[in-house]
């Protein structure tokens, strides 16, 4: 665990903090689709991503989901931090976007490390800042962008996260993430295909020129 921590966070945390994380943290490997956290659960640990990606979603009163942002290597979740510090129930759902390695840090260490390590405080503040910007971008997209532009942005981000031009999500899964309907998403995907921007296959979408 020490070596993976140094590779992912050695440029952020001092060695003493790396050693403490290794002592108290729990290393986990989860498969694509694994639910790390659900709405209404108490948060007992904070994730530090070593590899892979996690998508963070919100749910409305009707049970429909909206993608808020992705977590990648070197990230943590500000929504989790808020729940940790307030001993509150989670208001988000976190699902592994791909096979992912992470370290879960006990919530009891949050305040202790904030007082003890400047690098930890800076990391927490930067995480809040980054996630806030991503949330604002999501809100701007919902408020000002048409669904076709939101879909294109979604496909681009998916391709970036997966480091390739193949997207394996179904039309229904994309609709869930974008808080839309499968019929609307399928129609827009077909339009993008006719424009030569993507190719639709039986079990995946291929990005051509977005």
In terms of domains, do 132 and 79 share one?
yes
Point out the domain boundary residue: 100, 123, 143.
Answer: 143
Could you tell me where the DSSP H helices lie in the chain? 2-9, 15-24, 78-86, 109-116, 118-144, 147-162, 171-177, 182-194
In terms of domains, do 163 and 185 share one?
yes
In terms of domains, do 18 and 42 share one?
yes
In terms of domains, do 139 and 150 share one?
no
93-96 and 35-37: which strand pairing? antiparallel
Q: On the CB side of 88, how many CA atoms lie within 13 Å of its CA?
A: 11
Q: What confidence score (pLDDT) does residue 86 get?
A: 58
CA distance 28 to 197: 38
Q: What confidence score (pLDDT) does residue 66 get?
A: 84
Q: What confidence score (pLDDT) does residue 26 get?
A: 92
The pTM for the full model equals 0.72
Overall number of domains in the chain: 2
In terms of domains, do 167 and 139 share one?
no
In terms of domains, do 152 and 79 share one?
no
* Residue 33 and residue 95 in contact, taking contact as beta carbons nearer than 8 Å: yes
> For residue 201, what are the domain limits?
146-207
Q: What confidence score (pLDDT) does residue 132 get?
A: 83
- Phi first, then psi, for residue 151 (nearest 5°) are -65, -45
Q: What confidence score (pLDDT) does residue 118 get?
A: 93
Point out the domain boundary residue: 143, 158, 180.
Answer: 143
Angle at 197 between CA 192 and CA 198, to 5 degrees: 80
CA distance 198 to 107: 44
Tens-level pLDDT at each residue, the chain (210 residues): 788 888 888 889 999 999 999 999 999 999 999 999 898 888 788 889 999 999 999 887 777 788 888 888 888 776 666 655 556 778 889 999 999 999 999 888 888 998 999 999 999 888 888 888 888 888 887 777 789 999 999 999 999 998 899 999 999 999 989 988 899 999 999 999 999 999 999 889 999 988
């Amino acid at each position: 665990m020490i070596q993976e921590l140094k590779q992912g966070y050695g440029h952020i945390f001092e060695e003493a903090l790396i050693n403490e994380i290794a002592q108290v943290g729990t290393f986990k490997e989860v498969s694509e689709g694994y639910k790390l956290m659900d709405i209404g659960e108490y948060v007992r640990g904070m994730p530090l991503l070593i590899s892979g990606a996690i998508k963070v979603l919100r749910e409305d009163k009707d049970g429909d989901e909206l993608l808020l942002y992705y977590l990648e290597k070197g990230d943590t979740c500000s929504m989790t931090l808020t729940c940790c510090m307030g001993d509150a129930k989670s208001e988000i759902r976190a699902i592994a976007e791909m096979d992912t390695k992470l370290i879960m840090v006990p919530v009891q260490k949050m305040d202790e490390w904030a007082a003890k390590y400047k690098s930890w405080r800076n990391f927490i503040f930067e995480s809040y800042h980054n996630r806030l910007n991503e949330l604002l971008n999501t809100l701007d997209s919902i408020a000002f962008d048409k669904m076709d532009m939101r879909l294109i942005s979604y496909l681009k981000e998916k391709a970036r996260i997966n480091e390739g031009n193949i997207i394996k999500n179904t039309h229904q899964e994309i609709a869930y993430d974008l808080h839309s309907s499968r019929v609307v998403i399928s129609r827009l995907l077909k339009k993008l295909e006719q424009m030569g921007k993507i190719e639709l296959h039986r079990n995946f979408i291929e990005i051509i020129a977005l």
